[in-house]
Amino acid sequence: MSAKPSYAVVGAGIGGLAVGALLARQDAKVTIYEQAKRFLRIGAGI
């Protein structure tokens, strides 16, 4: 039995969360890191 691959995603924006979700669906261990203490409407405001 092989070990699950593990990934670290830096940034919980729309791209980071999408990549994290795709990797998790492929049965990978994913850890998402974000430096912001809370989410604000900055930039694209998504």
1 vs 21: CA distance, rounded Å:
24
Q: What is the pLDDT of residue 45?
A: 54
Q: What is the pLDDT of residue 13?
A: 87
d(CA 29, CA 20): 9
What number of residues does the chain have?
A: 46
| Residue range 2-45, pLDDT digits in tens | 788 999 999 998 899 999 999 999 999 999 999 988 776 666 65
CB within 8 Å of 46: residues ≥ 6 apart: 14
pTM above 0.85? Answer: no
- DSSP E strands, the chain: 6-10, 29-33
For the chain, domain boundaries:
1-37
